[in-house]
Structure formats: C-alpha cells, structure tokens
Chain A
Amino acid sequence: MANIKLDHIYKVYPNGVKAVSDFTMDIKDKEFIVFVGPSGCGKSTTLRMIAGLEDISAGELYIDDKIVNDVEPKDRDITMVFQNYALYPHMTVYENMAFGLQLRHVPTEEIHERVLWAANILGLTDYLDRKPRAMSGGQRQRVALGRAILRNPKVMLLDEPLSNLDAKLRAQMRSEIAKLHQDLQTTFIYVTHDQVEAMTLGTRVVVMKLGEIQQIDSPKNLYDYPQNKFVAGFIGTPQMNFFQATLLRKGDKIEIKFEWSDNKLTVDANDLIKVQPYYLDGKHKVWFGIRCEDVRLATSEDKDDLENVFNVKISHFEELGNETLIYGDINMQGDGFKETSTRIIVKALNSNNLKIGDVVKVKLNISKVHFFDFDTEVSIVPRIPTLNVISCKINGHELSFDGNKLTLPKVVEVSNGEGQLYLPISALSITPNGKFDATIINIEQVEDKKLAYLKLNERVLFLLVDDTAKIGDHVKLDIDITQITIKNGEKTLVSTLKKYNEISATFINYVSANTNEKNKYNPLLDSRISEVNKDYDDKLKEINIKYDALVKENSSKDLAAIKTENLKKIAELTNDTKEKLKQLEINYKKGVADVKKQHKVNKKEVVAKVKEEQEKIKKEENESYKKFLKVNKDKDVYHKRKAEHQDFKENYPKERENLINKAIDGESLIFETALNGIKAPYKRDKKMIKNSYKSAVKKLRDEYNIISVLNKQRQDEIVKLEKERKTALMKAKQIFFLKINGHLYQSPDTISNKMIQGLGTKVFVKDFTVEIPNDKIYVSDEGLKATVTSFLDYGEKKFVICNVKEEDGNEHEFYVLHDSEIKKGTEIHLSFELMDTHITEKSMNLRIY
C-alpha cells in the first residue's frame, strides 16, 4: 500500500529559476497518475524529486506517511523507467534485471525466480542471455520495465518511456503498460508530453504549465470541464476554437457578441446559468471556447433557427479519411491559417460541394461552450460556483436584493447605495429557522459533492447539500452575514469578516530560548530525555530476558554429539559440491568449445558464400563486357560502356570487402549471443551452487555453535537498539519554540519538522506569519496581551475585536469569537494552539504549515 503526498513542493534552482511551484497533491494507492504538459513545465523535475534524483527546495514529500525528503533513492522503495531505457550495456538482460536485487543481497534462488517471473510477464524469456545491443527498441524498453517491476516497488515512476519508440510500437507498449498496471496493482506515476498517452492511461491527469499545476482531474473531466484556457487548449485534438466575446444579459436571454466578426448569438439565460453574473454586463471581455466536434455544418432544418448559426469563410481542408476538418474564419477578412482568435475548425463527414472561399453556416452546441476570463484565463463557469453574485440595494441597515430583504446588524458599518452582493456558497445554509423560502429546482452530482440549484424568487442560487435534499423540496434558507461582501464597482460597502488573525513570529531553538528565559525549560528537556531512556532501558531488559530463556532452552542439548555429526555432513556436502562444480565446468567448457567450433565453421561458410556470389557477379560482368565488345560498333556507346566497366572494376573489391565484413559481423553477433547463452547460465548456476553450499554449511555450524550464535544475535540487537536510542535522544533534545510577541510557544514536533525540512538552518533567521482562525482563539488568563476595541454582534455569532501590539510597534486587529461582551479598553489575554494555525514564511511567501 503506497500513498504519496506532495505537500507544497517547490524546486528552485541556484540561479533563482522556479522549476516547480507549490505542487500539492495526494496520490492514492494503485492510482495511475499522469503528469502532462509542454516541455519545460516541470513535470520531469517533479518526478525526479519523487525519485530522489533531485533535491526538494521546499515542501514535503511523503511516501506512506513518512517524510522522505532526505531519503536516498534506493531506500524509497521506488523504481523508475527512463526515456532512454538506461540499460547497462555490459550486462545481459538477465543481469540487467537482477542487478538491483543483487545489490540488495537477495538470495540467488529468489532473484532467479523473480527474473523469470518478470520475463514471463513481458515476453522476454527467450532473450534473457542477450545483451541490450542485440535487441530492438521495443524489447529494450520491455527490459527496462522488467527491471522496474522486478523489485515489486511501492511506486513505479515512468519518465516519458515511450517517446523513443515509433508510432506503432508506442501504441502497443501503451496497452502493455496499462495491462501491467492492472496486473501489478501498484501506484504508477507517468510523465509524458503526449496528451493521447495521458488521456488513455491515467486514472487522474495532472496538467502542468511553467512549473504550476493547472488542473488535476480524471481524463473525462479534463476534457469536459477544463478549469482554464490552457487546459482547454491543451487537451483534445484538434485544438479547441477560441473567440473573444462579450456577454450581455437581456432579460431571459443572453446575447453573445464576437470581436472582429458580425456573428452574434442569442441564447437562453438558463443555458449559461453558472456563468458568473459579473461577466454578463456586455463590457467584460471573455474567451468563448468550443471544440470542433461541437460545431457542425448547418442543415436545411436549421435554416429557420437563425439564432445559433455562424457565418464561416472556408480557408482550407484537412482530409482525415473518415472525416474532414474544415478550417475557416468567422472574420470575413481573416485567412484561417494562423491560430488567431477568429479561426474556427469544424468537423464534418466530408467536404463535398464545398470550395475554399465559400461562406457556410455552422451550428454550435451551446451547452458545450466553455467561457474563460479574458485576463486570468480561468474558467468563469466553475463546476461548483464559489460565489453567488446578486445586485442589491442598501438603505439604512436594510439590504434588499431581488425582492428579498435582510436587516444588517447594527455593528456592520455600511454606506447607503446600490451594489453587488457577493454570497459565498459557504455562507448559505438550509436550516429550519432560516429567513428565506426557497425551492430546490435541480441537484447536480459533482464528484463526491451535491450541488443544489435553489430558486429564491427570480434568482437561482447555488449551495452544497447533503443526501437528504431532494428536487422540488421547499426549504428555509439562512445567510451567514459574516461572510458577505457588498461592492459598488471598486468600492467595498460591506466586507467579509476576517477569518484569520495574522501575527508575526520567529523560530528559535532550545538553547537560545532557555538562555533567554533563565533555564526555565530545563525540566522540560530532562523529562523528555528520561522518557526516552526509560523506554529503551525496558527494551534492553526484554532482549536480555529473551536471551537467557533461549540459552536455558539450548543448554540441555548434547552439543558435542551434534558437532561430530554435523562435521561429517559438512564433509559430505563439500565433496558433493565439488563434484557438481566440476561437472558444471566440464559441460561449460564443452559448450564453449562447441560454439567456437561452430562459429569458425559458420564464419567460413558465410564468407565463402559471399565470395562465391561476388565471384559470380564479376564473371557475369566480364562476360557481358566481352560480348558487348564483340557486338558493338558505335564509338559513343563504347566509351560509355567502357567507363561503366571501369567503375565496376574499381568498386568491386571495396564492395566485396564490405559485404564480407557485414557477413562476419552478423555471424559474430550470433556467436556472441550463443556464447552468452552458455556463459551466463554457467555463471548463474555456479553462484547458486556455491551460495546454497555456503548457507547449508552455515546452518550446520550454527547448530552446534548455538550459544555463541545466540550471543552474537543479542549483541547485534543491543548495538541496533543503542543506535536507535542515540537518534531518539537527539530528537528529544531538539525542542523548538515560536516566539510570538515576546511569548515563547513550544513548537509541536510536526511543525518543527516542517519548518526545518522546508528551510534548513535558514529557519532561524526568517520571519514568519502565523494565521490564527478567529474561532480557534480564546480569551484566557495568559497568552497574547490585547486591548479590546469593540464588540461585534451578528446575532448568533459575537466577536470581540481587539488590538494586539507587537514589540516592534506594529498593531494587529484580532477578531475573537466570544460569547459575551467585553468592555472597550479592557486588557485581555488570548490563547491558542499552534496546531490550529497556518504558518507562512514572509520573504518568499512559502506556506509551511
């Protein structure tokens, strides 16, 4: 079972280039993850960081809940397949595959078994004794795969494994990799720049660009719900058509106007219900994207429906056999060749009756259109909208929108006027005592969440619901006023209540803290150390008890008798093994001699054959030339023929030599393969016999030396234990503190680890921002000193606003969820748990915890 967690991973090169920024992802066991993106997007770098071939600049990498940032590649239990296979050329296929296990001192028999198993899966059984250079590209890649699966790793990493193969082989290997994943049931991480591989192989695909994650989703969702314009354009061939457009809401209809084109669409507002209302004002430019399969040539039935029809001037065709791509332009002056924002590609069955330059009508499938913000290129049709935006009016403390009225609490400072009400979906909830009546008109399943469409008077609002809600239910809706924002253009009339309180902090170690605080923390250190010592003393006792029991159990045996008997057995075994090895060597030598003899004969034969053929060709040429001389009378022709003959005479020896060499090379390769076929198994068998002899002898010896063996075992265990104790003690002595406004907070080990992991020794000179959620900070007897400035009463929720003055004079406003009012000007103390906070490094803006 291997889960991988990448937690805010960064790769920054010494020259300051950020190759990977803030990569966060959870990979579940048995998933097939594909990293895809154009070259230079950091996908390979990320993979190499997981493999341990590149250092991680910041962030944490977990494999099975263990941080592996500083673990050597070989100890991460991963394997990797490289783009260029990276086979060891001086080893046979068998040795290539066995190398990793040999380095891990796996018993020879087990290696043999596993190699045969892997070779069987990949169809390499016949090639085990070949060297890589005698194999084709596809076979080599299969060996590389075999080497990887052999160790039964937790994670398989594949770095563009198919890009060196030709198209046909690639398709074949692709399905083999898919099958391998099914059979092995391990986690695969696969890097490719080919979106076809990404879509066909991945259970989830990570699209990357310039070191940043663009979207992580299933292939289907990437295609259907791209989160930004880059993903939309990257996934799918041919590329999605993009136009610049503006959207204008006119009652129940929305009018879409296009730049540089007279085309116009008018569609039902319900078709674009999730488009954020902010964009429907006819002023904000958006990208209008539609895939070519959602565009078709208009038929005679569409003639009367002129609303969703486009005029397109055809520029050229791409014939694909089963269908035709029609390239055109929605701008009648455009040329349709360049990738402009007016070019359109239409998929059609054929191009019959169409000519270049024709203007045709095409119909768009409006429900498949994607919209993106013009500047940020982020989708403005999110699957789960985070915001509901409604026009509203404020008069006094009364907020009215869409015929609904809401009284704002007195504490909220408002100015009168019109504006836009921003309601995050987290601010809406269905409760029995809600203030508004609404109807659920639709429920959409998005991944594991349920999105409800709620009708409130004329408006449709979105919120997340649980399984109990059903379509058609009449429900009561409540709005959390602390989360609303009201804006009028750039001006904010009412703002969301701050969720997090910020304060700066520094990180210090035990010694500095203890010195500053006059040895206040000595007892803490002592208790931590004694805890560890006690733990290990107990373990040590256990080992000794176990040893005593075993010694007692064995001391009753007659060891001398066992010794004589076993010595006899060893002598027998030695003779036996010698005999076996001798036989093996005889066979081997005979085999090699045979092959060599055969090779000599074959070589002679091959060379003779080539020579004979060449001789024949020479003879033929000479004869034909002689004949020609006899017959021909034309001088011109004679000169030509003579030159030809001269050419032949000159080139003949060279050609003959070449052919002979080629024949010898071919035969040598066959010879080498045959030789390896004898050598490699011989070496293998010899080793296996020797190893099994050694282990058998050791076992027999151990039987009569049992007491000293047991003692050695105990010693080993004690040494290991003491080593562990040493590291544990070292860890216990590592106590760190966060200094916040003069107070020292002992940093929990998880936070300390992350801080040091992320920043190294620089951690002590950096400044951090600690963000404390306003519902996780409490008024108490000690802690941060603060002065109350005011009190906010939202009805159900009440907040104390107070001022925290830092030592350097900076003041921070804190919002504290509190039940009762505290008088203005009162000095209070605030306490909180560090585990509830977020910690960010200030200068690089690295999120640490």
Chain B
Amino acid sequence: MAKVERYHSKKAKEITSKTIIYIILVIMAIIWLVPFIYLVIQSFTESYSPSQIIPEHWTFQNYINLFTDEIYPFGRWYLNTLVIAIITAVLQTIITLMTAYAFSRLRFKSRQGYMKLILVIGMFPSFLGMIVTYFLLQLIGLSGSIFGLIVVYCAGAGMGYYVAKGFFDTIPRSLDEAAMIDGANKNTVFWKVILPLSKPIVVYTILMSFTAPWGDYMMASYLAQGKQELFNVAVGLQQMMAKGKDITYFPQFCAGAVIVSIGIMALFFWLQRYYVEGVTGGAVKG
C-alpha cells in the first residue's frame, strides 16, 4: 500500500516541477520572440503608428520600396555586405582552421607562448586599434573601399583558433601519422584527412566568420566615413532611422531587417545537416 502511494506522490511532484519549468520557458520564449514578430508584422504595414500592433492594411510595398528607393540604396548595401561576408567567411575559415591545425599538431618553440599571447590580446576590445587601423589602411590605399573592411576582418582570423583546435585535438594523431607514412605531407594531411573529418567545426567556423561581418556596425560605419556607397546593411539601416526625424521609414526599416535575417537563416539551414553529422565514428577503435 505504502509503496503504491509513494508512487503517486512522486508522479505528482514530477508534474508540478515540469509545469513550472515549462511556464518559465514559455515566458522567456515570448520575451525573446515578441520583438522579432513585431518587426515582421510592421514590415507589412502601410503606415506605422506605435499604438497599433496589428496593421489595418497589409502590403508588400515596403519590400519593393527598399530596392527602388533612391535616397537609401538598400540593394547596393546588401550587395556590399554579401561580398564582404562571403569573401571574409572563406578567407577567415581557411586561416582559422590552418592556425588551429598548426597549434594542435605541430610542436614548435613558443607554441605555448603564442597561444597565451593570443588569448590575452583577444581580451582587449577591438575598437582600441580603430584609429591605427584606419591609418594603416590609408597607407596601403584601401581606406575608401569595402576591401579595406575585408582586410580588417581577416587580419584577426587566426585568433579565433581556439574552438577548432579543441576539435582537432580529438582527432587521433595516428591518422596524421598513417597519412604521412602513406606519402602525404602536412598540407595533404590537412586538406585530405583532417578537413573531411571536421565538417561540424568547418561549418561552425564558416557561420561564425560569416555572421560577424554581416552584422558589424562599428568598424563598417567608421571606415565608410559617411559615403553611402560603402555602407553595409547595418550602417545603412541605422542611417534610415537616424536621419528620419519622423517615422515614415520605420516599416521600410523593418522590411530591411527581415531581409537581412533571411540571409543568415538560409545559410544556417543549408549548413545544418553537416552540423549534426558525427563523422569520427570508425576512425580508430570503435
């Protein structure tokens, strides 16, 4: 009898605790999601009024305006951002992974020293060097071009080696050694053995190095120096809201924000199937 009763009380306890947890989670989810949903809804409204959450008239015009408006060339900004982000993602991924591989596999003097140094330098906020960066870019003649931004983004790529190094450390060294005996040099080992095994970390690195320039505001606005043709989306959208003393452009701003997030989402959904795939199975003893 007693046993049976205990069973019930345990069950009741479980139910209450779960209910509480779910309630908290739901509340948090709402807090997180509301701004985004609000943004999406507002992007379809004809004219914005703060008191009205659900618009009276739904319209697609904001999206069309975005690409036809002559004051704010959103299409140009989007293209800028896309070019910067793609080139940066490719270069940065390669540099980061190569650095990580070097730190994980090669044993050279000052290896430990470098790793610590990078960790410490990484703790300083990046804007500390902004002015110097600008003068350096001016010296090499890239201060008035979006390629200057690419150089700036890629310059620090090696410093993000940490996560990838951790992953490479888990790949057995004997794979490298087997490949070396098979006739590979370090370069071949990296491209033909290590990278195919590291899809999750490659994807992670691509995503990280794509999103950073995609949403960067500070460095981009500083280097653009107010020239509209050099803006990326973040700077451009901010301009849209800063200049308008009124709120005419708010729905258009919302539409821009939605389009910006679509880019990232597309990339994520395309890459996520590699993200989950466990690929090290069967390498060594299983």
Which residues of A pack against B, CB within 8 Å?
51-53, 72-74, 78-80, 82-90, 99-100, 103-104, 131-135, 137, 140, 147, 164, 636, 639-640, 642-643, 646
| Chain B contacts for A51, CB-based, 8 A | 177, 181
Once the chains are docked, how many angstroms separate the CA of A53 from the CA of B178?
Answer: 10
- Given A89-B282, A636-B1, A103 and B188 touching (CB < 8 A)? yes
Q: Does A86 contact B180, Cβ atoms closer than 8 Å?
A: no
Once the chains are docked, how many angstroms separate the CA of A396 from the CA of B192?
Answer: 83
Residues of B244-283 at the interface with A, using a CB-CB cut-off of 8 Å, are: 279-283
Q: Does B4 contact A74, Cβ atoms closer than 8 Å?
A: no
Once the chains are docked, how many angstroms separate the CA of A52 from the CA of B180?
Answer: 10
| Chain A contacts for B3, CB-based, 8 A | 643
Q: Does B284 contact A85, Cβ atoms closer than 8 Å?
A: yes
- Given A74-B184, A79-B181, A99-B182, A132 and B283 touching (CB < 8 A)? yes
Once the chains are docked, how many angstroms separate the CA of A134 from the CA of B282?
Answer: 8
Q: Does B172 contact A84, Cβ atoms closer than 8 Å?
A: yes
Once the chains are docked, how many angstroms separate the CA of A100 from the CA of B174?
Answer: 15
Q: B25 at interface (Cβ–Cβ under 8 A)?
A: no
Partner of B178, one of A86, A135, A164: A86
**Taking the nearest CB of chain A, how far is it from the CB of B111, in angstroms?**
13
Interface size class of B (residues with CB under 8 A): 20 to 34
| Chain A contacts for B284, CB-based, 8 A | 82, 84-87
| Chain A contacts for B282, CB-based, 8 A | 87, 89, 131-135, 140
Q: A53-B181, A640-B4 are in contact. List 16 more A-B contacts (CB 8 A).
A: A72-B180, A74-B180, A85-B284, A86-B177, A86-B283, A87-B282, A88-B179, A88-B197, A99-B182, A103-B184, A131-B282, A133-B282, A639-B1, A639-B4, A643-B4, A643-B7
Max chain B Cβ within 10 angstroms of own Cβ: one of A82, A137, A636, A646:
A82
Q: Does A74 contact B285, Cβ atoms closer than 8 Å?
A: no
**Taking the nearest CB of chain B, how far is it from the CB of A302, in angstroms?**
53
Q: B166 at interface (Cβ–Cβ under 8 A)?
A: no
**Taking the nearest CB of chain B, how far is it from the CB of A258, in angstroms?**
48
**Taking the nearest CB of chain A, how far is it from the CB of B3, in angstroms?**
8
| Chain A contacts for B280, CB-based, 8 A | 89
Once the chains are docked, how many angstroms separate the CA of A132 from the CA of B286?
Answer: 10
Q: Does A84 contact B197, Cβ atoms closer than 8 Å?
A: no
Q: Does B183 contact A74, Cβ atoms closer than 8 Å?
A: yes
Once the chains are docked, how many angstroms separate the CA of A79 from the CA of B184?
Answer: 13
Q: B26 at interface (Cβ–Cβ under 8 A)?
A: no
Q: Does B285 contact A90, Cβ atoms closer than 8 Å?
A: no
| Chain B contacts for A135, CB-based, 8 A | 282
Q: Does B193 contact A88, Cβ atoms closer than 8 Å?
A: yes
Q: Does B197 contact A89, Cβ atoms closer than 8 Å?
A: yes
Q: B122 at interface (Cβ–Cβ under 8 A)?
A: no
Once the chains are docked, how many angstroms separate the CA of A74 from the CA of B186?
Answer: 12
**Taking the nearest CB of chain B, how far is it from the CB of A668, in angstroms?**
12
| Chain A contacts for B181, CB-based, 8 A | 51-53, 73-74, 78-80, 100
Q: B196 at interface (Cβ–Cβ under 8 A)?
A: yes
Once the chains are docked, how many angstroms separate the CA of A134 from the CA of B286?
Answer: 10
Q: Does B4 contact A87, Cβ atoms closer than 8 Å?
A: no
Residues of B158-186 at the interface with A, using a CB-CB cut-off of 8 Å, are: 172, 174-175, 177-185
Q: Does A53 contact B285, Cβ atoms closer than 8 Å?
A: no
**Taking the nearest CB of chain A, how far is it from the CB of B54, in angstroms?**
39
Q: Does B283 contact A100, Cβ atoms closer than 8 Å?
A: no
Q: Does A86 contact B196, Cβ atoms closer than 8 Å?
A: no
Q: Does B4 contact A82, Cβ atoms closer than 8 Å?
A: no
When C-beta atoms are compared, the residue in chain A nearest to B195 turns out to be A90
| Chain A contacts for B1, CB-based, 8 A | 636, 639
| Chain B contacts for A84, CB-based, 8 A | 172, 174, 284-285
Once the chains are docked, how many angstroms separate the CA of A28 from the CA of B139?
Answer: 66
**Taking the nearest CB of chain A, how far is it from the CB of B283, in angstroms?**
4
Q: Does A137 contact B177, Cβ atoms closer than 8 Å?
A: no
**Taking the nearest CB of chain A, how far is it from the CB of B146, in angstroms?**
37
When C-beta atoms are compared, the residue in chain B nearest to A148 turns out to be B181
Once the chains are docked, how many angstroms separate the CA of A490 from the CA of B281?
Answer: 67
When C-beta atoms are compared, the residue in chain B nearest to A98 turns out to be B182
Q: Does B183 contact A86, Cβ atoms closer than 8 Å?
A: no
Q: Does A100 contact B4, Cβ atoms closer than 8 Å?
A: no
**Taking the nearest CB of chain B, how far is it from the CB of A157, in angstroms?**
8
Which residues of B pack against A, CB within 8 Å?
1, 3-4, 7, 172, 174-175, 177-185, 188, 192-193, 196-197, 279-286
Q: Does A86 contact B184, Cβ atoms closer than 8 Å?
A: no
Once the chains are docked, how many angstroms separate the CA of A643 from the CA of B188?
Answer: 62
- The contact sample of 23 A-B pairs, CB cut-off 8 A, is A72-B180, A73-B177, A73-B180, A74-B183, A84-B174, A84-B285, A85-B284, A86-B175, A86-B178, A87-B283, A89-B279, A90-B197, A99-B179, A100-B182, A100-B183, A103-B183, A103-B188, A104-B183, A133-B286, A147-B182, A639-B1, A639-B4, A643-B3
| Chain B contacts for A100, CB-based, 8 A | 181-183
Q: Does A88 contact B285, Cβ atoms closer than 8 Å?
A: no
Once the chains are docked, how many angstroms separate the CA of A79 from the CA of B197?
Answer: 23
Max chain A Cβ within 10 angstroms of own Cβ: one of B184, B188, B283:
B283
**Taking the nearest CB of chain B, how far is it from the CB of A459, in angstroms?**
58
Once the chains are docked, how many angstroms separate the CA of A434 from the CA of B144?
Answer: 104
Q: Does A164 contact B285, Cβ atoms closer than 8 Å?
A: yes
| Chain A contacts for B193, CB-based, 8 A | 88
Once the chains are docked, how many angstroms separate the CA of A635 from the CA of B215?
Answer: 68
Q: Does B179 contact A89, Cβ atoms closer than 8 Å?
A: no
When C-beta atoms are compared, the residue in chain A nearest to B176 turns out to be A86
Q: Does A53 contact B177, Cβ atoms closer than 8 Å?
A: yes
- Given A100-B183, A103-B183, A89 and B178 touching (CB < 8 A)? no
Max chain A Cβ within 10 angstroms of own Cβ: one of B181, B280, B286:
B181
Max chain A Cβ within 10 angstroms of own Cβ: one of B1, B7, B183:
B183
Max chain B Cβ within 10 angstroms of own Cβ: one of A87, A131, A147:
A87
| Chain A contacts for B175, CB-based, 8 A | 86, 88
**Taking the nearest CB of chain A, how far is it from the CB of B229, in angstroms?**
44
Max chain B Cβ within 10 angstroms of own Cβ: one of A100, A131, A164:
A100
- Given A639-B1, A639-B4, A643-B7, A85 and B182 touching (CB < 8 A)? no
**Taking the nearest CB of chain A, how far is it from the CB of B86, in angstroms?**
26
Once the chains are docked, how many angstroms separate the CA of A84 from the CA of B173?
Answer: 10
Q: Does A90 contact B196, Cβ atoms closer than 8 Å?
A: yes
**Taking the nearest CB of chain A, how far is it from the CB of B9, in angstroms?**
13
Once the chains are docked, how many angstroms separate the CA of A137 from the CA of B285?
Answer: 7
Q: Does A89 contact B172, Cβ atoms closer than 8 Å?
A: no
| Chain A contacts for B178, CB-based, 8 A | 80, 82, 86-88, 147
When C-beta atoms are compared, the residue in chain B nearest to A153 turns out to be B181
| Chain B contacts for A85, CB-based, 8 A | 284-285
**Taking the nearest CB of chain A, how far is it from the CB of B37, in angstroms?**
32
**Taking the nearest CB of chain B, how far is it from the CB of A73, in angstroms?**
5
Q: Does B172 contact A86, Cβ atoms closer than 8 Å?
A: yes
| Chain A contacts for B185, CB-based, 8 A | 72, 74
| Chain A contacts for B183, CB-based, 8 A | 74, 100, 103-104
When C-beta atoms are compared, the residue in chain A nearest to B280 turns out to be A89
Partner of B180, one of A53, A87, A133, A643: A53
**Taking the nearest CB of chain A, how far is it from the CB of B271, in angstroms?**
17
Q: Does A137 contact B7, Cβ atoms closer than 8 Å?
A: no
Once the chains are docked, how many angstroms separate the CA of A187 from the CA of B175?
Answer: 23
| Chain A contacts for B174, CB-based, 8 A | 82-84, 86
Once the chains are docked, how many angstroms separate the CA of A147 from the CA of B183?
Answer: 12
Q: Does B188 contact A89, Cβ atoms closer than 8 Å?
A: no
When C-beta atoms are compared, the residue in chain A nearest to B196 turns out to be A90
| Chain B contacts for A52, CB-based, 8 A | 181
Once the chains are docked, how many angstroms separate the CA of A642 from the CA of B282?
Answer: 46
Once the chains are docked, how many angstroms separate the CA of A37 from the CA of B192?
Answer: 36
| Chain B contacts for A88, CB-based, 8 A | 175, 178-179, 193, 197, 283
**Taking the nearest CB of chain B, how far is it from the CB of A243, in angstroms?**
42
Once the chains are docked, how many angstroms separate the CA of A640 from the CA of B192?
Answer: 61
Q: Does A90 contact B4, Cβ atoms closer than 8 Å?
A: no
**Taking the nearest CB of chain A, how far is it from the CB of B221, in angstroms?**
43
Partner of A90, one of B7, B182, B188, B279: B279
Q: 9 shortest A-B CB distances, which residue pairs?
A: A133-B282, A100-B182, A84-B284, A132-B282, A86-B178, A103-B183, A86-B174, A74-B183, A89-B283
**Taking the nearest CB of chain B, how far is it from the CB of A305, in angstroms?**
56
